[in-house]
């Protein structure tokens, strides 16, 4: 098969890596790709992944059998719609289904309509009613830009004043059109956890649990980021909580088949809070998580091509998932200054040495090749260092051993990925 992956981050490198292992994969393309995908696939830097017609033209010219859409923006832009209409198998929901991520208001209403446990909320298109609702809920409170904001449009405000400022920033254009509608939510308490599911034909095939670390610095301090590290499975999730999470994902998948015009065929990402009242949904995303994918796919023992094609073709009963019992830990190496301003073009050394360690894989997120063919930094999150181990501690130690072998100017990373979970559920109390 000829396969095209849309996207250029660590998630897409992990997807391409898993696809490349399949005997069914012939030609593999990644658009735009990065310095890591270039070693296992052909990068297509000139293809606009959000332009459905351009993607279709490329797919027809290169006899693409399956398109896998990584990021949310092409999904919301309707790229999957264009491809499906032309008869090309595509893994990723259409534009309507992608609104589960593209609009927090749409997603919240979907949850309400289908009795999915979530936080109380209000959705507002004007500033004053939003401010009034903030005061009604009181602090702490969560303020969200309704649309896509590259993971930056959510503020967990500890005071009413901070929440009011966040509301004003949204309506004053801090997030562009994404902030023209604002969602204000009650602040749930407890550990966060995510579970992804392959969805097709109204059925959900749940993947392994994962837990991201969104804050920039050790001890969950600093600004939110796209994710500084993650592990799978999540040891603090109790069996009864996992059962509820699976039920929620199955209920959501059934609802997509019932409520949406077209079959939802792609990943449904459930972001949960493990509250004292039980798991509640913080958000749904319409694609593979980043960096969750980087620890989930290395534990997948089934053929990813078979899975994605079955979902894309509406054959959910043909999806067969098998998981390794090993633990996976990912540490993100970022550019100095991330998630704020950062410099690019710093030469990266030691990746090959890190990957010589047993069970270590380095997925590239923000890398490129310079004129001298040197690997250089090209983004905020630069590398995802992933280690597999027979125990949680072994995987953590191996990941950090690999991190020590990789160097570039301004290398920044958290030293406590997984530490809190290793201490047990009481660490959140």
Per-residue confidence (pLDDT) for residue 347, from 0 to 100 = 98
DSSP notation for 295-328: HHGGGB-S-HHHHHHHHHTT-GGG----B-SSEE
Residue 70: both structure tokens together: 């990584």
Select 192-318's CATH number: 3.40.50.700, 3.40.1350.10, 3.30.470.20, 3.40.720.10.
Answer: 3.30.470.20
Q: How many residues does the chain have?
A: 429
DSSP notation for 185-220: EE---S-EEEEEEEEETTEEEEEEEEEE--EEEGGG
Whether the pLDDT of residue 35 is over 90: the answer is yes
Per-residue confidence (pLDDT) for residue 209, from 0 to 100 = 97
Band (pLDDT 50/70/90 cuts) for residue 246 is: very high
Per-residue confidence (pLDDT) for residue 174, from 0 to 100 = 86
- d(CA 19, CA 3) in angstroms, rounded, equals 9
Q: What is the mean pLDDT of residues 347-368?
A: 98
Whether the pLDDT of residue 177 is over 90: the answer is no
C-alpha to C-alpha distances, 312 to 267, 307, 317, 355, nearest whole angstrom: 11, 9, 12, 33
pLDDT digit string, tens, across residues 17-27:
999 999 999 99
**Topology annotation, domain 327-421:** 3.90.600
**Topology annotation, domain 3-94:** Rossmann fold (3.40.50)
Whether the pLDDT of residue 150 is over 80: the answer is no
Domain with CATH 3.30.470.20 in the chain: 192-318
Strand stretches in 107-158, DSSP E: 121-124, 141-145, 154-157
Q: How big is the CA angle at 236 (ends 274 and 290), to the nearest 5 degrees?
A: 75
- d(CA 408, CA 383) in angstroms, rounded, equals 11
Q: What is the mean pLDDT of residues 32-41?
A: 96
- The conformational region for residue 115 under phi > 0 = left, psi -120 to 50 = alpha, else beta, is left
Q: What is the mean pLDDT of residues 239-246?
A: 98
pTM score: 0.95
Band (pLDDT 50/70/90 cuts) for residue 429 is: confident
Whether the pLDDT of residue 151 is over 80: the answer is no
DSSP notation for 61-86: HTT-SEEEE-SHHHHHTTHHHHHHHT
Domain with CATH 3.90.600.10 in the chain: 327-421
Band (pLDDT 50/70/90 cuts) for residue 223 is: confident
**DSSP-derived 3-state class of residue 99:** helix
Average pLDDT score over the chain: 96
Domain with CATH 3.40.50.20 in the chain: 3-94
Question: Going by CATH, does the domain composed of 124-180 fall within 3.30.1490.20?
Answer: yes
CB-CB contact of 286 with 93 (8 Å): yes
Domain with CATH 3.30.1490.20 in the chain: 124-180
Whether the pLDDT of residue 266 is over 90: the answer is yes
Strands 215-217 and 221-224: antiparallel
Band (pLDDT 50/70/90 cuts) for residue 108 is: very high
CB-side neighbour CA atoms (13 Å) of 211: 18
C-alpha to C-alpha distances, 122 to 129, 154, 199, 412, nearest whole angstrom: 9, 15, 28, 37
Whether the pLDDT of residue 428 is over 90: the answer is no
Band (pLDDT 50/70/90 cuts) for residue 103 is: very high
pLDDT digit string, tens, across residues 312-332:
999 999 999 999 999 999 999
Band (pLDDT 50/70/90 cuts) for residue 408 is: very high
């Amino acid at each position: 098969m000829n396969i095209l992956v849309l996207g250029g981050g660590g998630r897409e490198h992990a997807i391409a890596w898993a696809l490349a292992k399949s005997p069914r994969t012939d030609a593999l393309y990644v658009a735009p790709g990065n310095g890591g995908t270039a070693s296992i696939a052909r990068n297509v830097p000139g293809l606009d992944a959000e332009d459905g017609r351009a993607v279709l033209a490329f797919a027809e010219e290169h006899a693409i059998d399956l398109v896998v859409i990584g990021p949310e923006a092409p999904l919301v832009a309707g790229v999957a719609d264009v491809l499906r209409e032309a008869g090309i198998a595509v893994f990723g929901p259409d534009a309507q289904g992608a609104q589960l991520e593209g609009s927090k208001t749409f997603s919240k209403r979907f949850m309400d309509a289908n009795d999915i446990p979530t936080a109380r909320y209000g959705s507002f298109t004007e500033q004053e009613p939003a401010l009034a609702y903030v005061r009604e809920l009181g602090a702490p409170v969560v303020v969200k830009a309704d649309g896509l904001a590259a993971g930056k449009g959510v503020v967990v405000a500890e005071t009413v004043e901070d929440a009011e400022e966040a509301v004003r920033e949204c309506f004053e254009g801090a997030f562009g059109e994404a902030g023209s509608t604002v969602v204000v939510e009650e602040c749930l308490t407890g550990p966060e956890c995510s579970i992804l599911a392959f969805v097709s034909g109204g059925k959900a095939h749940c993947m392994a649990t994962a837990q991201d670390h969104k804050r920039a610095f050790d001890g969950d301090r600093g600004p939110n980021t796209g994710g500084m590290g993650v592990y799978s499975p999540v040891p603090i999730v109790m069996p009864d909580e996992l059962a509820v999470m699976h039920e929620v994902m199955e209920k959501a998948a059934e609802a997509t088949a019932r409520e949406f015009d077209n079959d939802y065929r792609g990943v449904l990402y459930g972001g949960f809070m493990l509250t004292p009242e039980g798991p509640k949904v913080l958000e749904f995303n319409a694609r593979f998580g980043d960096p969750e994918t980087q620890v989930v796919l290395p534990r997948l023992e089934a053929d990813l091509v078979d899975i994605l094609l079955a979902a894309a073709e509406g054959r959910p009963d043909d999806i067969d998932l098998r998981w390794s019992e090993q633990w996976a830990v990912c540490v993100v190496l970022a550019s100095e200054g991330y998630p704020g301003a950062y410099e690019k073009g710093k030469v990266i050394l030691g990746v090959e040495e890190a990957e010589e360690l047993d069970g270590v894989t380095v997925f590239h997120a923000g890398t490129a090749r310079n004129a001298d063919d040197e690997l250089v930094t090209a983004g905020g999150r630069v590398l995802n260092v992933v280690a597999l181990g027979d125990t949680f501690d072994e995987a953590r130690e191996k990941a950090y051993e690999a991190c020590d072998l990789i160097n570039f100017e301004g290398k920044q990373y958290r030293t406590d990925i997984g530490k809190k979970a290793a201490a047990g559920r009481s660490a959140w109390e």
